[in-house]
């Protein structure tokens, strides 16, 4: 879907990105992660030409990005930033309708799309459609920002640290939303963050960057199992590395199909083992019951099974 061929970027005398080669496939949730100054935001912004690459070529759906006028390219790509940047003088409805109106969609189609997006982002139509940004909380504003980015049904969604400014609870719920949206819409998402937990939770592929080059690109599980070097290991976090490993493994993979009495807490098969461990510790128990979405008992996870 998106191909970076030998991309470099220089600002004045500083080289921010060098010899980058990266392919982002259709339907991927690709997370770019790295310390400050690693070039991750720059790389993201090169996709929609907010930053122009110095050398090399970037292909978007097979065509060079410079063959389009910038506005045309950007209208095909969704763009959500940390500070959201909602237009304060427009209602939620007008904000979301921005790109569809630029693309001259007819009113009925825009109307229906807004309704669908509000539902997708779990925003109550009656309450929020005609509200102004200043009447919304930070989390609600960011949801509108994501809806706005998705409005014209772009194939690719670019997100630049969108949840960085939110409190942990809101961040957690929005991360869950993103996972769900990705599953439901199958869009290609390129996501920048400096938070490893967020990356591991959301990504289908994590690209670790340092000083403008790719250090390792792998699925979360592979990254944790086989970190390429000490840098990646440090970035993964030495102290809770083991817990992170648990967070990318699911209950369903380790549970035993037995039905014995357990404490009040439960987990689902698609919860992570980290959640299971945390709840077991909270109960001061060495096992926890697993219940499926339909409410039936699927099995039990045992503490001793967590260590492979």
Partner 1 sequence: MNGDVQVTRRKRDDVIKNRPLMLLAGLIVLGAVGLPFLTYAPNRLVSGQPVPLWVAGKMADLIFLVPGLFLIAGVFIDQTPQLLRALIVAAVLFLSGLLHLAALGAETLAQAGSATASRTSFGSGFWVMAVATALSLADLTARAGLSPVSRVFVGLMAAVPVAAMIFFGHLDAMSIMKEHANKADLFHQAVIRHFVIVISALIPTLLVGVPLGVLAFRSTAVGGPILTVLNIIQTVPSIALFGLLMAPLSALAVMVPALRDLGISGIGLAPAVIALTLYSILPIVRNTSEGLAQVPATVTEAAIGMGMTARQVFWQVAVPLALPVFLAGLRVTVVQAIGLAAVAALVGAGGLGSIMFQGLFSNALDLVLLGALPIIAIAVLADAIFKLVLALSRKTVP
Site for partner 1, rule CB under 8 A: 48, 50, 70-77, 79, 81, 83-89, 98-99, 102, 132, 134, 145, 148-149
Residue among 74 and 182 whose Cβ is closer to partner 1 = 74
First to last CA, the chain: 37
Q: Which is nearer to partner 1, 84 or 273 (CB)?
A: 84
Least distance in angstroms from the C-beta of 135 to partner 1: 9
Q: How far apart (Å, rounded) are the C-alpha atoms in residues 207 and 194?
A: 11
Give the nearest distance from C-beta 2 to partner 1 in angstroms: 16
Closest CB to partner 1 among 11 and 87? Answer: 87
C-beta of 72 vs 282, nearer to partner 1: 72
What tokens were used for 238?
């030495």
Q: Least distance (Å) from partner 1 to the CB of residue 146?
A: 12
CB of 254 to partner 1, least distance (A): 43
Task: Name the helix (H) or strand (E) containing 73.
Answer: helix 70-75
Least spacing, CB of residue 99 vs partner 1, in Å: 5
Query: Are the C-beta atoms of 202 and 29 separated by less than 8 Å?
Result: yes
Cβ(198)–Cβ(175) below 8 Å: yes
Interaxial angle between packed helices 168-185 and 107-120, expressed in degrees from 0 to 180 and rounded to the nearest 10 = 120
Considering the complex, state which of residue 150 and residue 208 has its C-beta at the smaller distance from partner 1. 150
* Token reading at 32: 């770019």
Angle between helices 168-185 and 138-150 (to 10 degrees): 20
Query: What is the rounded distance in angstroms from the CA atom of residue 173 to the CA atom of residue 163?
Result: 10
Task: State the nearest-atom distance from the C-beta of 103 to partner 1, in Å.
Answer: 9
Strand 266-267 to strand 213-218: parallel, antiparallel, or no bridges (unpaired)? unpaired
Q: Which token pair is 168? A: 């942990």
Q: How far is the CB of 174 from partner 1 (least distance, A)?
A: 17
Least distance in Å: CB of 243 to partner 1?
35
Query: Of the two residues 96 and 255, which places its CB atom closer to partner 1 in the complex?
Result: 96
| Strand 63-64 versus strand 55-60 pairing type | antiparallel
**Measured between alpha carbons, how far is 41 from 28 in angstroms, rounded to an integer?**
18
Strand pairing report for 156-160 and 188-193 = parallel
**Of the two residues 80 and 214, which places its CB atom closer to partner 1 in the complex?**
80
83 or 225: whose CB is closer to partner 1? 83
Interior angle at CA 295, CA 291 and CA 297, nearest 5: 40
CA angle 64, 68, 69 (to 5 degrees): 140
């Amino acid at each position: 879907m998106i191909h970076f061929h030998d991309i470099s970027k220089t600002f004045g005398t500083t080289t921010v990105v060098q010899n980058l080669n990266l392919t982002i496939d259709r339907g991927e949730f690709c997370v770019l992660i790295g310390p400050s100054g690693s070039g991750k935001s720059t790389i993201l912004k090169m996709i929609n030409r907010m930053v122009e690459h110095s050398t090399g070529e970037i292909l978007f759906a097979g065509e060079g990005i410079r063959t389009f006028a910038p506005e045309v390219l950007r209208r095909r790509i969704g763009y959500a930033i940390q500070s959201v940047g909602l237009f304060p003088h427009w209602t939620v409805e007008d904000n979301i309708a921005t790109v569809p109106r630029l693309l001259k969609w007819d009113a009925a189609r825009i109307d229906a799309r807004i309704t669908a997006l509000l539902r997708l982002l779990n925003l109550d139509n009656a309450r929020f459609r005609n509200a102004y940004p200043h009447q919304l909380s930070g989390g609600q504003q960011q949801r509108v920002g994501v809806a706005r980015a998705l409005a014209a049904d772009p194939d690719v969604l670019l997100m630049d640290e969108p949840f960085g400014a939110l409190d942990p609870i809101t961040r957690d719920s929005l991360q869950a939303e993103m996972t769900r949206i990705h599953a439901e819409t199958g869009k290609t998402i390129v996501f920048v963050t400096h938070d490893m937990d967020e990356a591991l939770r959301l990504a289908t592929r994590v690209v670790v960057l340092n000083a403008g080059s790719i250090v390792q690109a792998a699925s979360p599980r592979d990254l944790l199992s086989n970190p390429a070097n000490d840098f990646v290991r440090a970035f993964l976090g030495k102290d809770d590395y083991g817990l992170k490993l648990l967070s990318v493994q699911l209950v369903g993979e380790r549970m035993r199909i037995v039905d014995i009495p357990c404490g009040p807490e439960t987990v689902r098969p698609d919860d992570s083992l980290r959640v299971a461990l945390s709840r077991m510790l909270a109960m001061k128990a060495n096992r926890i019951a697993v219940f499926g979405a339909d409410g039936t008992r699927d099995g039990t996870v045992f503490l001793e099974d967590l260590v492979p």
